[in-house]
């Protein structure tokens, strides 16, 4: 009987170890580890994304830009979203904010209805470094 009990105990401990290890490995694979930049008409505030993200838009309604943060932040800095005509340096619109530890996304409503058709670039900057840029076209 003691041999059977220790075999059951070892089996249970083995299952617990495998379950714990698989959870740890799986959570690392699914963790958001990089910055993302999305642009579209329909923001999803619950999932911190843009539902209709694209890079070509018919200019009929205000667009929303969203910088999505990784699960673990390196440091807290001043963040900035800004738009330029593609290949130019003049800023058409910008918004800045101080990052916080619980910040999951930084959002900016664009004034794109005032802009002419053409090619633009959305930039996401943290501190002095541009994390990501997204080229888009207004038709």
Residue 71 and residue 3 share a domain: no
Residue 61 and residue 24 share a domain: no
Residues 118-131 have pLDDT tens digits of 999 999 999 999 99
Spell out where 12-117 has E strands: 36-40, 43-44, 49-50, 56-57, 64-68, 78-85, 91-98, 105-109
In Å, how far are 42, 49, 67, 105 from 45, measured between CA atoms? 9, 7, 12, 9
Given a cut of 50, is residue 76 above it in pLDDT?
A: yes
Residue 57 and residue 94 share a domain: yes
Residue 46 and residue 17 share a domain: no
Tally of domains within the chain? 2
What average pLDDT score do residues 87-110 get?
Answer: 96
Structure tokens at 124: 């996401």
- For position 66, which CATH number holds? 2.60.40.2550
Given a cut of 80, is residue 138 above it in pLDDT?
A: yes
Question: pTM of the full predicted structure?
Answer: 0.75
Given a cut of 60, is residue 26 above it in pLDDT?
A: no
Residue 52 and residue 22 share a domain: no
> Residue 22 sits in which domain range?
1-30
Given a cut of 50, is residue 30 above it in pLDDT?
A: no
Residue 75 and residue 13 share a domain: no
Given a cut of 90, is residue 33 above it in pLDDT?
A: no
Residue 23 and residue 88 share a domain: no
Query: Residue 134 has what pLDDT?
Result: 98
Q: State the chain's mean pLDDT as an integer.
A: 89
Query: Residue 21 has what pLDDT?
Result: 67
């Amino acid at each position: 009987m003691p041999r059977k009990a220790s075999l059951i105990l070892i089996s249970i401990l083995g299952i617990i170890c495998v379950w714990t290890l698989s959870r740890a490995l799986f959570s690392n694979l699914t963790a958001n580890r990089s910055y993302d930049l999305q642009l579209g008409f329909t923001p999803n505030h619950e999932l911190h994304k843009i539902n209709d993200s694209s890079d070509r838009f018919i200019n009929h309604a205000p667009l929303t830009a969203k910088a999505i943060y990784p699960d673990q932040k390196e440091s807290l800095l001043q963040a900035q979203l800004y738009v330029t005509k593609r290949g130019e340096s003049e800023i058409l619109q910008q918004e800045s904010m101080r990052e916080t530890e619980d910040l999951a996304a930084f959002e900016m409503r664009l004034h794109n209805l005032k802009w002419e058709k053409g090619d633009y670039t959305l930039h996401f900057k943290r501190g002095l470094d541009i994390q990501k840029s997204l080229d888009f076209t207004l038709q």
